[in-house]
Amino acid sequence: MISAMRWCALAMALLVSSACSSLFPTGGTTSGATKATRDAAADYAALPLDDPTDFEDAMRGRLSFESEVVVRDADGRVVWDTTAYAFTEDEKAPGSVNPSLWRQARLNGIHGLFEVTDGVYQVRGYDLSNMTIIEGERGRIVVDPLTAKETAGAAYRLVERTLGARPITAVIFTHSHIDHFGGIEGVISQEEIAERNVRVIAPAGFLEEATSENVIAGITMRRRADLMYGRRLPRGVRGHVDSGLGKGPAFGTVGLAVPTEVVGATPTEMTIDGVRFVFQYTPESEAPAEFTFYLPEKKAFCGAEVVSHTMHNLYTLRGAKVRDALRWSGYIDEAIVMFGSEAEVMFASHHWPTWGNARIVDYLEKQRDTYKYIHDQTMRLASSGHTPREIAEQLELPESLAPSFANRGYYGTVRHNAKAVYQWYFGWYDGNPANLDPLPPEESGAKYVAAMGGADAVLGRARDAYDAGEYRWAASLLDHLVFAGQAGGDAEELLARTYEQLGYAAESGPWRDVYLSGAYELRNGEPGGGTGLASAIQLLRHTPMERFFDAFATRLDGPGAAGVDLAVNFVFTDIDESYRLWIQNSVLHHRRTAPDPEADVTIRITRDLMLRLITGDAGTREMLFSNEVEIDGELAALRRFFGLLETPDENFAIVRP
């Protein structure tokens, strides 16, 4: 049973955690903005920061709002708190926040229930994403019910208080990212969906993508997301301000509803509760499974997350598959052809709507051309031999695109999106032989420090660079010193201060959070604790068992498994599924099949108990005495099998060796 305990620990680490120990942490000394950082803000003076158009659009049609939105889970833990961002009410940006990002943060702080057009409403500011409500003949159609049960429930209660109660007749998931489906249980239960035959409509491939995206890469992605979203940062002018796409993700209870209908072609027309929809299928754009839709009678276009009031990510800093810029741009052009001649209002899964046909077409054309410009110019420069870093350094949007706030790098940036285009076509290698097999950071750091005259000399040069406002160079010098293992407290503190200045200057919310989180961890260390998956049990119930076994295979100690030849049967007694897992050539394979009588050991367990073990809802003692588990065969083989599966380090170091 020791081996079973190890199995439980492994299983609990398979998915990205949807919980955090503290929504608004504190701690760590921070430094203010230097003169060089404040002077850098002058570069944004040419932007029309005082243009009120976006603020007018963001406030237009507001029907109701709560002055303070504090949402808690069943245990009283804060899931969402708008009061934590009260500091952004000041119109003038502080020196420690890029003035363009400050403007975006203030816009994203506007919350409430809004009328988009007749019969179409949105709740904004209750999560990273928006919930859209479309009034039908018999009830309401809910589009994208947010990330968490708690925030979705709070948002829908605002809808019912303002518009009155009506039954939900359909649910639409525009795409497969969790902030657009995870809150489903907050608006309608699984039982009610089944009992009333509520339609659940999603793009083709939605269920597979929604349940599998983070399983194999989950540990690494979650840890990197800590930095990208500033999860450990205090909210304030020297901490987390905004994510660019919204204030930030909600960390609550997540669920999923299985689609009853899928859209896999353009155009697909449906009438849903008396409302006519025309769907545009846009896979492999912002999400692997996604669609937009148009409401002809309302002349309203929902752009899902294909378009937003920010440049989006072709590559996301938490780590994900690179997105196809050319295909993304093509979908926007297709939407212009299909809907651009008549649309009078456009709304999306994030941010605020745009009204007026001419403005909508201009907005779509600029978003289309932003992604295509980055794509085309990256490839033009690559064809002349420029490497990703060289391309990122020189590529800028033209004056016809750059001043548009919807094209600014609040979430994605020109620099990391250009590198994404290069990666899409050419991969990680830039063609320079020196970069084919470079030394790892610790070894190269030690050699750089030695070559520059030792730790004191490097620290001195870094201080000079910091004082001169050359923060990127200072960060490079100090990073070598830290990874050489020769950095004392002064060096790490100087690197933290350097990261802070880079963060304060960043227009991108994720760039700011990455830099400031790096500073935080240099001062406070890596996070503690483990995953909290109990809040994701509804999502896990829809995850195929194959995905868990795929993750098992990525935990196998390959060198330790050299010469090992053993097989294990997993039999899930409550769902009538069985799998054979076997190790061959230091690789763990799995196959859905009848139990192999020649296997070394067989584990019979209910899927429900396995999920409760994964989430921590059931402990080892319950498993030991449960009639839901039987183990037949050689216990020594079972111990050996689980002994070869490593338990990942969920809180691995990033800014230090």
pLDDT tens sequence across 233-256: 999 999 999 999 999 999 899 999
pLDDT tens sequence across 250-269: 989 999 999 999 999 999 99
Give pLDDT, residue 160: 98
The full set of domain ranges for the chain reads 48-425, 533-643
Give pLDDT, residue 580: 98
Q: What's the pTM value of the predicted model, to 2 decimals?
A: 0.94
Give pLDDT, residue 29: 62
Give pLDDT, residue 484: 96
| pLDDT band of 11, cuts 50, 70, 90 | very low
- Is 475 in contact with 505 (CB distance < 8 Å)? no
What is the chain's Cα-based Rg?
Answer: 26
* Ordered strands of the 268-272 beta sheet: 268-272, 275-281, 291-295, 300-302, 345-347, 354-355
What CATH number should be reported for the domain whose range is 48-425? Answer: 3.60.15.30
pLDDT tens sequence across 86-134: 999 999 999 999 999 999 999 999 999 999 999 999 999 999 999 999 9
Cα 411 from chain centroid (whole Å): 11
Give pLDDT, residue 24: 45
pLDDT tens sequence across 529-545: 765 566 677 788 888 99
Helix (H, G, I), strand (E, B) or coil at 64: strand
Q: Which residue, among 178, 182, 118, 121, has the nearest Cα to 153 in the 3D structure?
A: 182
630: alpha, beta or left? (left if phi > 0; alpha if psi -120 to 50): beta
The CATH number for 533-643, chosen from 3.40.50.11030, 3.30.450.30, 3.30.1050.10, 3.40.50.880, is: 3.30.1050.10
Please tell me the number of Cα atoms within 13 Å of 528 on its side-chain side. Answer: 2
